[in-house]
Amino acid sequence: MDQFTDRYILRGREGELGRADPAFFKNHISSSFIEAVRWWFSQGQRTAPRDLAEEYADLILPILPWQGEDGPRAGENKPGAGE
């Protein structure tokens, strides 16, 4: 999970976390994702894995200080996106 968080979430922007320790941030992201998967299993996997991942991203990505600049979902809801 650390490699995933480094590559897709932090992407070298540890300095933009303010007072948060990057290791604590990675732990927070990783543990909340694991809990989301556990919840998904306990609910009988009623949605597709991709749906779970998208719901998780919708909840987590807005807490990133750089959200909207060039994050994984940047431009999705902007006019002309996907054209």
Asked whether residue 76 is domain-assigned, the answer is: no
Asked whether residue 46 is domain-assigned, the answer is: yes
Closest CA to 35 of 1, 69, 71, 3: 1
Q: Is the pTM of this model over 0.75?
A: no
- What three-state secondary structure class fits 64? coil
Structurally, the chain folds into a number of domains equal to 1
Asked whether residue 55 is domain-assigned, the answer is: yes
Q: Per residue of the chain (83 residues), what is the pLDDT tens digit? A: 777 777 777 777 778 888 888 888 888 888 999 999 999 999 999 999 999 989 988 888 887 777 655 544 544 554 444 44
Q: What's the domain range around 45?
A: 22-64
Asked whether residue 3 is domain-assigned, the answer is: no
Asked whether residue 59 is domain-assigned, the answer is: yes
Indicate the angle between helix axes 49-60 and 22-42, nearest 10 degrees: 140
Q: Which residues contact 51 (CB under 8 A, 6 or more apart)?
A: none
* pLDDT (0 to 100) of residue 68: 58
* pLDDT (0 to 100) of residue 37: 95
Asked whether residue 12 is domain-assigned, the answer is: no
